Structure 1
């Protein structure tokens, strides 16, 4: 069975646990291993919290979740000010962003939790964060190599 949904949410702190709960319910309904559920919902929480914290005052944002037998794909779209996703094209660049004091801890966390993380600006100017998580707990938490 596959599950897919899209919700439009107000940019406020109450929207984050709401969408996290929806995603958790869908993953649990499909009997996904608890560790994978935790990692996926934590990454989604961070992506949504970033919108709430950084997007600026506007009406809403959109979260799409698509789960099949192998992977969970999550997209978070907003029309806030965004940031330069090109600065974090790879792990080494992400590490430099964090060390330069430009934030990035949440971005590093998301990257460690999921198998694929992508930031884009759509042609209409909206910002899109895409996450993919395989529905297997191995390997989990790919932490950055400090060497």
Structure 2
């Protein structure tokens, strides 16, 4: 058994907790360990917040962003894609950007995703936009719906 879902969301701050709650609810129902669920929900929150802030609003490209999540067997994979200008080349080829100053109020989200997930991939879409995909090996609670399969 597996669970997958996809959301098309407007670039509004209110969309971020909606995506997070849906992911947490699916993982709780499936029986994912709460610590793993928390890590993935924080990573998703950061990816969605970046899409809202930087995702572009060109109606020709949809103007919003998409979140897709797969819980299948031992892994959860999440992808957030927006319609903005995309990542700078240094981020896509994995050259680390300089860390933000300690007093900065932003600039830590992509690094946080890298810390919380097992595998992270940053890329630009084929025509436009940025795509953040990440996955994490799942741990299950005793008697979990998916973990017992």
TM-score, with structure 2 as normaliser: 0.80
Q: Which has the higher helix share?
A: 1
Return 5+ residue gaps in structure 1 as ranges.
138-147
Residue aligning to 1:98: 99
CA contact (8 A) 2:86 2:128 kept: no
TM-score, with structure 1 as normaliser: 0.81
1:41 aligned onto 2:41: yes
Query: 2-side partners of 1:37 and 1:77: how far apart?
Result: 21
Among 36, 48, 68, the residue aligned to 2:72: 68
Q: CA deviation at 1:122?
A: 2.1
Greater RCO, 1 or 2 (C-alpha within 8 Å, sep 6+): 2
Change (3 A) 1:48 1:85: farther
Query: 2-side partners of 1:105 and 1:78: how far apart?
Result: 19
Q: Matched residue pairs, number? A: 134
Larger radius of gyration: 2
